[in-house]
Amino acid sequence: MHHMKAIITKQNDKQSTGRGFSLSELKKACLTKQDAKKIGIPLDIKRKSCHDENVETIKAHAQKPKEKAPAKPKATEPKPTAKPKKKAKS
């Protein structure tokens, strides 16, 4: 997956890329911090603003893994079999 960057609008109406998405943007996209970490969405806890473009980016990115990823079968280890005990010689 490519790296996602949040777009931040500064006071002079210039846009720049931020370190990550704010918690309020994640909340509007119906994601938690744990979900964002699993998907690979960067989080910037210092940011407080919420931009609609970023919310749409998060929603689009959150739907991609669901579409692409096939269900992976869990690898099961073979259970150890109990070996028969040897009889003591008398």
Dump strand ranges (E) for the chain. Answer: 7-9, 15-17
Q: What is the pLDDT along the chain (90 residues), one digit of tens a residue?
A: 456 778 777 888 888 887 888 999 999 999 999 988 888 888 888 888 888 988 998 898 888 766 555 566 677 777 777 777 777 776
The residue count for the chain? 90
Q: Where are the domains of the chain?
A: 7-66
Torsion sign over Cα 20, 22, 25, 26? positive
CB 61 within 8 A of CB 41: yes
Distance from C-alpha of 84 to C-alpha of 67, rounded to nearest angstrom: 49
Global pTM? Answer: 0.60
